Chain A
Amino acid sequence: MIGSRRFFRWQHRNAPYLFIAPFVAVFCVFGLYPLVKSLWLSFYITSGPKSRIFVGLGNFSFLLSDPDFHKAVWNTAVFAFFSVFLQLPLSLGLALLLNRKALRARNFFRLVFFSPHLVGMVFVAVIFMVIFQPQFGLLNRALNAVAGIPLDTKWLGNRDLVMPALVLTSLWMYVGFNMIYFLAALQAVNQDLYDAAKVDGANAWQQFLHVTLPSIKPVAVFVVVLSTIGSFQLFELPYLLLGNSGGPENAGLTVVMYLFQNGFETGDLGYASAIGWTLALGVLVVSLVQMKLTGAWKRGD
């Protein structure tokens, strides 16, 4: 009896630690340790698990002059640019359409726009691989009928068309997903603000500018940062659509693809780690700049 009482007090005192223990344990072994190790590895050239040569900052200085890496960074940046400046405005536009008060079948449209997100990236890639086919592919046949574009347009075989193909595919995948966030934010806007603006004689555009935008700003910043981070990590789509080589003249090579190539095909985990840390630094800097520019800094989230 006394033993069980002692146990009761013991478990009461230590409960939060026990509950959080799985996270701490897994995090230390499979998070913190690999993270520190990868920083350490980034100072080495490795070849397989045995051979290691210390090169100091050599990997990083090599990155600075590595044309393939530059290409990968450029491609990733272009992709991220279109994700933020093409895809997100469209998402917001769709959300605004769906937010109209008297709209019927709102849930139906929301579901339809969201549905591509249910298809995993790998499966999207397999579907679009066939849709992008020259001659017979759905896209070329549609564009041929509408705009007279030649049927043998090789979306995945022409270095100038690879990036548009990637942007188009991810547009299809994510435009509805991000719309969900904007729509939720729009529905949470205080309606009294609109009434007040109308009393002040604000037209629809002024209402959008002075009521809607400021109200949805926290969510908008969240979505911008999230899709930038996501774009920086683009891998599956080009890897499956273009093969592990990165497409014609590396037109579809992304940073994570280049990391994968170096680490798991060439076998230089050191150089791969250096690429990884450069990516992490890039993600950090860009999201901090975005939060600073949009003034979300002080909110802290």
Chain B
Amino acid sequence: MSRTVLRILLYVALALCSVVMLTPLVWLVSACLKKPDDLFSYLFFPPPGDLSLRNFHDLFTDIEFTRFLMNSCFVSGVAVMVQLFFASLGGFALAKYEFPGKKPVMILMLATMMIPGQVMLGPLYELIYHIGLMDSYLGLIVPGCVSVFGMFLFRQSMLQIPDDLLEAGRIDGCSEFGLYWNVALPVSRPMIGAFCLISFMGTWNSFLWPQIVLHNSQRFTLPIALNQMVGLYSQKYGVLMAGTFLSILPVVILFFILQKEFISGLTAGAVKG
């Protein structure tokens, strides 16, 4: 009997926690779908007759939201591709080759992971300023284009590639880059999925560095555009919430596509390492 009671308690506890976790997100959705004046009239959703897409309409007509959305898609898309290429290439070298200098490189990588990036914020700003990359997407993407964390992830997954397989490829006349491209990459497909999402979330949500580099609002990405909207539209919460909702949506969609790979990729380093 008490077993059943415990089971019920377990589900009640989990359900309560779920409600708490979901409330802000449900509220966000409800806030977008209210008429601008109704935001605080109803706690959550209004009666069906009062639902409205007015906030979205205003978002795209009053503000150049399409532009910010495209900017973010472009920056994140390019950054993910570049990071993916360099991280998997470097990870392959660390996993499947022995070479003098490998140890120092890996120690160097570990050391950089320990140092908070904000230490170099000032000099990095000066550097970007002097080489003329201020207010450009190159200045945004290039400093972060090699992910040390990503290299470790790919090294971890590529360690499992059998050496015999690579040797056989070499005898068949496959170049080393060909081995990376035709053998190592396809084998690491789950890790590619995980890393894509991790790096997409990183660049899509990135705020501090874009805030420093970008000045022209035509080039703004979503996080800084939204920060600016907070200042300019402080009374129009509905529009702000609609913008927030649309900013979150791409990450959520990508997460549902790559969910399985993502969770295993996140924990791979921690549990096995």
Contact = CB atoms under 8 A, between A and B. Distances in A.
Interface of A: 8, 11-12, 15-20, 22-24, 26-27, 29-31, 33-35, 37-38, 41, 49, 94, 97-98, 100, 102-103, 109, 111-113, 115-116, 118-123, 126-131, 135-136, 138, 141, 172, 176, 180-181, 184-185, 188, 218-219, 222-223, 229, 232-233, 235-236, 240, 256, 259-260, 263-264, 269-270, 272-273, 276-277, 279-280, 283-284, 287, 301
B105 A24 contact: yes
Contacts of A94: 17
A239 B263 CA distance: 30
Contact of A115 (B21, B89, B146, B226): B21
A19 B90 contact: yes
The contact size tier of chain B is 35 or more
5 contacts: A17-B93, A26-B142, A115-B21, A116-B21, A276-B118
Given A12-B176, A23-B90, 10 more contacts: A15-B176, A23-B86, A30-B143, A103-B10, A122-B227, A236-B208, A240-B230, A259-B121, A263-B121, A273-B122
B8 interface: no
Contact of A136 (B40, B92, B148, B240): B40
Interface of B: 7, 10, 13-14, 17-18, 20-25, 27-28, 31, 39-40, 43, 86, 89-90, 92-94, 97, 99, 102, 105, 108-109, 112, 114-127, 129, 142-146, 148, 151, 170, 173, 175-177, 180, 201, 204-205, 207-208, 212, 223, 226-227, 230, 237, 240-241, 244, 247-248, 251-252, 255, 259, 263, 266-267, 270-271, 273
Residue of B123, B212, B237, B259 contacting most chain A CB atoms (<10 Å): B123
A172 B120 CA distance: 30
A218 B251 CA distance: 30
Contact of A180 (B28, B248, B263): B263
B21 A130 contact: no
A132 B32 CA distance: 17
Given A20-B105, A123-B226, A172-B21, A141 B205 contact: no
B226 A269 contact: no
A279 B248 contact: no
Main DSSP-derived SS at the B contact region = helix
Contact of B93 (A20, A120, A259): A20
A35 B119 contact: yes
Contact of B116 (A233, A240, A273): A233
B10 A118 contact: no
Contacts of B126: 37, 49, 269
A131 B40 CA distance: 11
Return the 3 tightest CB-CB contacts between A and B, nearest first. Answer: A120-B205, A15-B176, A34-B120
Nearest to B255: A118
A27 B108 contact: yes
B244 A8 contact: no
Main DSSP-derived SS at the A contact region = helix
B146 A27 contact: yes
Contact of A126 (B18, B43, B201, B240): B240
Contacts of B86: 22-23, 26
A97 B123 contact: no
B26 to A, nearest CB: 10
Nearest to B89: A19
B122 to A, nearest CB: 4
A283 to B, nearest CB: 6
A42 B126 CA distance: 14
B21 A97 contact: no
Contact of B10 (A22, A100, A119, A180): A100
B169 to A, nearest CB: 11
Contact of B205 (A29, A123, A280): A123
A118 B230 CA distance: 21
Nearest to B23: A138
A118 B146 contact: no
Contacts of B251: 118-120
B151 A30 contact: no
Contacts of A301: 273
Contacts of B89: 19, 22
Nearest to B86: A22
Contacts of A24: 105
B152 to A, nearest CB: 11
A20 B90 contact: yes
